[in-house]
């Protein structure tokens, strides 16, 4: 196919809510080209599918793999590969915490922890407001989903206002029971 028209791309991706892969198949171009055209035309891309962090095995399968691997002697080359795979990739590397929040490796940030990570929703809010958060300011997830860091789902609150909001919500839940 020749040149991609903005209207056609908008219709497929936004109006029909097709994935980049589906759009690429229809337009007979690569997914990367779809992505590049979206940015060229100023069409905002959607967040990736929530919860998908690559292929994962079930707990039972992981346990079987672990049992099979116990006691095996690893070569130095294999040990190096495993070590390299577990290394932090660099600034911007994301990981999901056990409590559901997303962290970003950003060691130069004034509020990053000793290990260099800071919560992604804090970085997003700071980029939106154009400054670092002040003491006593927190970022609240409107829909309560801890890894939904879309700007439309984040609001800046005072610590006391945030605490009062959650206390009121908790009281209302208790009264309903």
Q: Which of 9-13, 33-37, 49-53, 76-80 has the highest mean pLDDT?
A: 9-13
pLDDT(58) > 80? no
pLDDT digits (tens, 9 = 90+) for 95-154: 899 999 999 888 888 888 988 889 999 998 988 888 899 999 999 999 999 999 999 999
For residue 133 the two structure tokens come to: 């958060």
User: For residue range 42-54, what is the model confidence (pLDDT) as tens digits?
Assistant: 888 886 544 444 4
pLDDT of residue 141: 94
């Amino acid at each position: 196919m020749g040149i991609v028209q903005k209207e056609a791309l908008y219709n497929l991706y936004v109006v029909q809510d097709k994935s980049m892969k589906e759009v690429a198949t229809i337009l007979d171009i690569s997914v990367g080209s779809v992505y590049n055209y979206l940015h060229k035309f100023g069409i905002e891309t959607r967040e990736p599918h929530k919860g998908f962090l690559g292929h994962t095995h079930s707990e039972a399968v992981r346990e079987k793999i672990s049992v099979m691997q116990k006691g095996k002697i690893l070569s130095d080359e294999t040990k190096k590969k495993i070590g390299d795979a577990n290394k932090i990739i660099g600034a911007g590397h994301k990981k999901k915490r056990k409590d559901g929040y997303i962290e970003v490796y950003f060691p130069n940030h004034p509020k990053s922890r000793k290990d260099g990570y800071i919560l992604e929703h804090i970085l997003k809010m700071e980029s939106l407001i154009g400054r670092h958060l002040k003491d006593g300011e927190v970022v609240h997830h409107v829909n309560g989903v801890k890894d939904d860091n879309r700007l439309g789902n984040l609001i800046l609150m005072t610590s006391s206002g945030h605490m009062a909001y959650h206390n009121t919500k908790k009281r209302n839940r208790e009264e309903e029971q």
